[in-house]
Amino acid sequence: MPAMDMTNPAALPADWRDFLALTKPRVMSLVVFTGLCGLLIVPQLPPLALGFTAILCIALGAGACGALNQWYEADIDAKMRRTAKRPLPGGRMDRQSALHFGVGLGAFSVLLMGLATNWLAAALLAASILFYVFIYTVWLKPRTPQNIVIGGAAGAFPPLIGWVAATGQFATLPVLLFAIIFLWTPPHFWALSLFVRSDYAAAGIPMLPVVAGAETTRRQIFIYSLPMAASAVAPWPLGLTGPIYGACAAILSFVFLVLAARVLANRSLDPIGMAPERHLFAYSVFYLFALFTVLVVDRWLPW
Amino acid sequence: MVRDEDEIIRKRQRERARVMALLLGAFVILLFFITLAKTGMNW
């Protein structure tokens, strides 16, 4: 074997842990969780092996999105503190390996989903991967501050895919779950982008705080939180869930609105003074986990 | 120096082969259970 250039770590075969890091496991956990909840609230559960495979395919599809996102944005990631140590900007992997891994993982997840469950779920999974990579990463993210608004649809697919994988058809409840995540994404990401604004500015990403300023972003966070809260509570008055979900969704959404109002009232431009933004960001993750957990509990409780 | 490089390469190749073998084994088991489920022998 010819000697390799040790000054260029990317010339070495990449460590398997770096392939795992490409899939953004932390982001994947939320995707898997919402997909699992979408599958657990169906009227008739599928066989365990098929349900497990559906969730596995959603996870692999999300991993493919993460890998292709990091492949495309390697130069941008190198400019941001938060992402500079990822495998590609860190120089621990060559870009071609990341591309092959992402495309292979995505194709495998769609094929397995189609063969194990149904081709409507596979088509939705393929659409979500393609939407995330081409519409969000390549087209919207570097061009418009509305990137998160439209791109949020990609992250909203999992509960819909979980439901369709189990039932083979669409229904009102999973479409509402899609709407909840779609409307939750802008306040969640804008809260983050307010206190890491300098990172996005340095990388040239036109996030709303960079383009329109903190005040506009805070107003938009509050405005988007209102329809998000309404869509979160909506399954109850529509008769799609029970009162336990309705009460919990109302309380959780009320707290979300209070935290969004505190963000709206904040005037600090310094990240140190952005405690309300940090609180909203942390709570928004808890909010989605809690909301979907209650949804499943409400579905399976005997009363 | 070249010996060190070879050792690192071999170590990574061994680890990747081991992970790939585990994943392929898990995939075979998954296919077995998918087949059972699709043929109506639900678990």
CA–CA separation, A265 and B35 (whole Å):
57
CB spacing of B12 vs A56 below 8 angstroms: no
Transcribe A133-156 into DSSP letters: IIIIIIIITTT-TTHHHHHHHHHH
Nearest-CA distance B27 → chain A (Å): 10
Q: If you measure CA to CA, which chain B residue comes closest to A7?
A: B5
CB spacing of B19 vs A47 below 8 angstroms: no
B22, with CB counted inside 10 A (0-12, 13-18, 19+), is exposed
CA–CA separation, A18 and A88 (whole Å):
9
CB spacing of A3 vs B2 below 8 angstroms: yes
**Cβ-proximal residues to A256 (8 Å cutoff; 6+ apart), any chain:** A187, A225, A228, A229, A280, A283, A284, A287
pTM above 0.80, yes or no: yes
Collapsing DSSP states into helix, strand and coil, what is residue A4?
coil
**Interface residue B37 vs chain A (CB under 8 A):** yes
**Interface residue B17 vs chain A (CB under 8 A):** no
Of residues B1, B12, B30, nearest to A53 (C-beta): B30
Give how far Cα A137 sits from Cα of A62, A73, A142, Å. Answer: 14, 8, 8
> What are the chain B neighbours of A46 within 8 Å (beta carbons)?
37
CB spacing of A50 vs B13 below 8 angstroms: no
Termini Cα distance of chain B: 55
- Residue at token pair 């990137």: A147
The pLDDT of A8-26, averaged and rounded, is 83
What letter does residue A242 receive in the DSSP assignment? -
CA–CA separation, A73 and A193 (whole Å):
17
CA–CA separation, A260 and A223 (whole Å):
9
- Model pLDDT for residues A191-201, shown as the tens digit of each residue: 999 988 888 88
The pLDDT of A139-158, averaged and rounded, is 88
The pLDDT of A233-253, averaged and rounded, is 96
CB spacing of A4 vs B37 below 8 angstroms: no
Mean pLDDT across chain A: 92
The pLDDT of A144-165, averaged and rounded, is 91
Number of compact structural domains in chain B: 1
Domains of chain A, by residue range, sit at 12-170, 171-303
CA–CA separation, A276 and A264 (whole Å):
9
Nearest-CA distance A155 → chain B (Å): 26
Cβ atoms < 10 Å from Cβ of A10: 16
Nearest-CA distance A84 → chain B (Å): 23
Is residue A6's pLDDT more than 70? no
Contacts 24+ apart (CB under 8 A), A124-130: A124/A157, A124/A160, A124/A161, A124/A164, A125/A57, A125/A58, A125/A61, A125/A157, A125/A161, A127/A157, A128/A61, A128/A65, A128/A154, A128/A157, A128/A158, A128/A161, A129/A61, A129/A64, A129/A65, A129/A68
CA–CA separation, A208 and A253 (whole Å):
23
Res. A31 pLDDT band, cuts 50 70 90? very high
CA–CA separation, A57 and A110 (whole Å):
7
The tokens of A154 are what?
């990609």
- Residue at token pair 């081409």: A134
Give how far Cα A236 sits from Cα of A33, A161, A164, A241, Å. Answer: 21, 22, 21, 5
Confidence at residue A199, expressed as pLDDT on a 0 to 100 scale: 80
A1-5, A18-22, A191-195: which has the minimum mean pLDDT? A1-5
The pLDDT of A222-227, averaged and rounded, is 97
Domain boundaries, position B17: 1-43
CB spacing of A116 vs B34 below 8 angstroms: yes
- Model pLDDT for residues A110-130, shown as the tens digit of each residue: 999 999 999 999 999 999 999
Is residue A142's pLDDT more than 90? no
CB spacing of B8 vs A12 below 8 angstroms: yes
- CA dihedral for A272, A277, A279, A281, sign (positive or negative): negative
- Model pLDDT for residues A75-111, shown as the tens digit of each residue: 888 888 888 889 999 989 999 999 999 999 999 999 9
- Model pLDDT for residues A47-81, shown as the tens digit of each residue: 999 999 999 999 999 999 999 999 999 988 888 88
Nearest-CA distance B25 → chain A (Å): 15
Confidence at residue A1, expressed as pLDDT on a 0 to 100 scale: 36
What letter does residue A271 receive in the DSSP assignment? G
**Interface residue B43 vs chain A (CB under 8 A):** yes
Which option is the CATH number for A12-170: 3.60.15.10, 1.10.357.140, 1.20.1740.10, 3.40.50.720?
1.10.357.140
